Amino acid sequence: LAKTTQPISMDSYEGQEVNITCSHNNIATNDYITWYQQFPSQGPRFIIQGYKTKVTNEVASLFIPADRKSSTLSLPRVSLSDTAVYYCLVGPSSGNTPLVFGKGTRLSVIA
């Protein structure tokens, strides 16, 4: 499974846009890129997923360049409740493959 690298931590003020970049140089052709959010003492929660180019949903955007060796999660206008750990994962679509977590990025939103 492709290994991912993310910044360990980031700080942001409320109302700002936050971009978290993840490197996955060894991504395979059939791998998707998925981002999860985790609050303390809770299981990870799905944020967004993509294969290439740009994906947007009601909470975030995901930008994936043509070579797919990196991806950027964009959180528009963060609030205090967005303080969490964000994980970038890559993996194939097979249901039998576990998702392997990297260290994640601890985002702290400050008032």
Partner 1 sequence: GAVVSQHPSWVICKSGTSVKIECRSLDFQATTMFWYRQFPKQSLMLMATSNEGSKATYEQGVEKDKFLINHASLTLSTLTVTSAHPEDSSFYICSARPTRDRGRGPEAFFGQGTRLTVV
Tell the smallest beta-carbon distance from residue 15 to partner 1 (Å).
27
Q: Does 7 help bind partner 1 (rule: CB under 8 A)?
A: no
Which amino acid would we find at residue 30? Answer: N
Residues 23-62 that bind partner 1 (CB under 8 A): 32, 34, 36, 41-46, 49, 51
29-52 as b/e: b if 16+ CB within 10 A: eebbbbbbbbeeeeebeebbebee
Which of 66, 67, 95, 111 is the binder for partner 1 (CB under 8 A)? 95
> By C-alpha distance, which of 46, 43, 2 is closest to 22?
2
In the complex, the residues that contact partner 1 under the rule CB under 8 A are 32, 34, 36, 41-46, 49, 51, 87, 89, 91-104
